[in-house]
């Protein structure tokens, strides 16, 4: 009798669509990500002038990578239009604009990632996989800058988020959420159950006046107290 393999099935590569108004950039990104076929596969290269609303669903994308600066319609406007339809994919902004204001605007729209073009191919592929897994990912360069500024807060604050009536545990959960951890990983990090994490998240959302993870991350990073 043959042996049964105990090796777990390897996850299929994340299906990614690239959106830009520059054919050269789109082709360059495709070539860069092609080196990481085990993690991501580019299923479409769409020029911003195309009918995206009609094209992208046919490609069955899991993640759509949109340039922030495109001719005719900004990446944020495009993101707002695509996300308004409650799409089956997650949307990531890809840009050279490291302004925090842009980041917060994007997160408020409900994007799942804000990444800088200075990333290597390895980093980009890894972040796209994390986004497809349900995480909200912010480029480490921006996240670190915001975190460092938050560390300079006055000593009157007992812990990040205490001025928002967040408990220490809620602040820990929110900080891990900003780092992009899933509920399962937050639970493992804090040595609690996933249901406990969900309870903390519901309380965090209520205290911050938000409805979802992306909005909570945007609020936390805007305050500069988490990273």
The CATH number that applies at residue 208 is 1.10.10.10
Same domain for 135 and 151, yes or no, is no
3-class DSSP assignment, residue 137: strand
Residues 6+ apart with CB under 8 A from 44: 17, 18, 55, 56, 59, 61
pLDDT of residue 87: 86
> Residue 201's closest CA among 214, 188, 191, 189?
214
Q: Is residue 192 part of a domain?
A: yes
Q: Is residue 5 part of a domain?
A: no
Q: In this structure, are residues 80 and 111 in contact, taking their beta carbons and an 8 Å threshold?
A: no
Q: How many residues are listed for the chain in this entry?
A: 227
Q: What is the pLDDT of residues 193-203, one digit of tens each?
A: 889 899 989 98
Q: Residue with structure tokens 């002038």? A: 49
Q: Does 183 have pLDDT greater than 60? A: yes
- How many domains does the chain contain in total? 2
From 140, 170, 186, the end of a domain falls on 140
Which has the minimum average pLDDT: 35-39, 49-53, 188-192? Answer: 49-53
Same domain for 122 and 151, yes or no, is no
Q: What is the pLDDT of residues 2-36, one digit of tens each?
A: 455 454 456 899 999 999 888 888 899 999 999 99
Residue predicted with more confidence, 195 or 58: 195
pLDDT of residue 141: 86
From 140, 156, 180, the end of a domain falls on 140
Tokens standing for 33? Answer: 């990500």
DSSP character string of 150-184? HHTS-TTSSSTTGGGT--HHHHHHHHHHHTT--HH
pLDDT of residue 156: 46
Q: Is residue 50 part of a domain?
A: yes
Q: Which long-range contacts (CB under 8 A, 24 or more apart) does 87-91 make?
A: 87/56, 87/57, 88/57, 89/17, 89/56, 89/61, 89/62, 89/63, 89/64, 90/62, 90/63, 90/64, 90/131, 90/132, 91/63, 91/64, 91/66
* Confidence (pTM): 0.65
pLDDT of residue 76: 86
Report the CATH number that the domain containing residue 48 is assigned in CATH.
3.40.50.2300
Q: Is residue 173 part of a domain?
A: yes
pLDDT of residue 158: 56
pLDDT of residue 1: 47
Q: Does 68 have pLDDT greater than 70? A: yes
Q: Around Cβ 37, how many Cβ atoms within 10 Å?
A: 11
């Amino acid at each position: 009798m043959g042996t049964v393999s105990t090796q777990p099935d390897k996850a299929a590569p994340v299906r990614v669509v690239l959106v830009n108004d520059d054919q050269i950039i789109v082709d360059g990104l495709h070539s860069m990500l092609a080196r990481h076929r085990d993690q991501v596969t580019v299923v479409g290269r769409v020029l911003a002038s195309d009918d995206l609303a009609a094209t992208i669903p046919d490609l069955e994308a899991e993640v759509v990578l949109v340039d922030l600066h495109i001719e005719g319609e900004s990446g944020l406007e495009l993101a707002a239009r695509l996300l308004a339809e409650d799409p089956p994919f997650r949307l990531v902004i890809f840009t050279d604009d490291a302004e925090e204001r842009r980041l917060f605007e994007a997160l408020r729209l409900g994007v799942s990632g804000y990444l800088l073009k200075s990333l290597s191919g390895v980093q980009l592929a890894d972040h796209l996989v994390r986004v497809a897994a349900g995480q909200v990912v912010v480029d480490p360069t921006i996240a670190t800058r915001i975190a460092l500024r938050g560390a300079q807060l006055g000593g009157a604050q007992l812990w990040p988020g205490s001025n928002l009536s967040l408990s220490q545990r809620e602040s820990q959960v929110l900080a891990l959420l900003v780092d992009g951890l899933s509920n399962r990983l937050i639970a493992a990090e804090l040595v609690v159950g996933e249901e406990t994490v969900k309870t903390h998240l519901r309380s965090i959302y209520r205290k911050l006046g938000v409805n979802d993870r992306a909005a909570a991350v945007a609020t936390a990073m805007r305050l500069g107290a988490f990273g």
